Amino acid sequence: MSVLGEEKRKAVLKQVLEDPYLKVAWPEVSEDKRESIFSLLQSALAPVKPYRESQRQAKDTGVKLPPTPGAVEQSSLGFNPVTKALQSQAKQNLLSEPVKEPITMVFICKDDIQPEILVKHFPSLCASASNTQTAVKLVSLPAGSMEKLSEVTGLRDLGCVALKAHKDFDTLSKVIMASVLDVELPWKSESPFTPLEVKSLTTFAPIKKSKNQLTAEKKGKENNQKEQQQKQQKQGKQGNAKPKGKVTKP
């Protein structure tokens, strides 16, 4: 039942072409290994929070800052910094430019970030940022990791971390290199001519009236307007008419 004044709508199917560039699988890692990797990642990022606190103290009191730890200097923390760093590295690969201190590991709280489409670009981006000398490993962290990473680093809603090769990350790097496969782009190995994939998306559209219905409605409105004008004219004539018969004086 439609509410008065609302436009009637009907369910329709729209054909949508699937994007092959988003159909890149995330490397599979066992749950036990993910927990082990996440524990090592927390240890590697432990110096971030104390250093951030010392930065605030130095700003307020003028105390000299301690040396910048590798967890700060050799990392990108946050969705935008990680995306920009990977894009820059991918561009250097495309231009065949040498990459100084390349990113080697990327960690995403995939299960904690919604909607899922926000993180769909990371597999293809990590593959593009990889080259024959350095592969960028991509790890999906266990559910609930975002809150724990935020506690460790003091950064709110931290769900993306990228690390470069550094001695402070050696233990973590060895575990990842031995247990996490490289990201593979299917369109690089498959034939360039692949079957077209079309999805059907259910949506709603207004119910359009036929030409005859629109014509009938238009004529009906015109007739109503004419009737109202005729009534107004009659009422005007009756108001201006003089009364018949003699008027007796009191």
> Which pLDDT value is given to residue 72?
92
| Of 173, 146, 156, 143, residue with least CA distance to 49 | 156
Look at 126-140, 216-230, 232-246 and tell me which has the smallest mean pLDDT.
Answer: 232-246
Distance CA 168, CA 150 (A): 20
Look at 87-96, 152-161, 190-199 and tell me which has the smallest mean pLDDT.
Answer: 190-199
Distance CA 110, CA 144 (A): 10
Phi, psi (degrees; rounded to nearest 5) at 225:
-65, -40
In the structure, what pLDDT confidence band is assigned to residue 210 with cuts at 50, 70 and 90? confident
Fold of 26-183: 60s Ribosomal Protein L30; Chain: A; (3.30.1330)
Phi, psi (degrees; rounded to nearest 5) at 203:
-145, -175
- Report if pTM > 0.85: no
Tokens of 39: 């524990």
Boundaries of every domain in the chain = 26-183
Distance CA 146, CA 66 (A): 27
Amino acid identity of residue 156, one-letter, is R
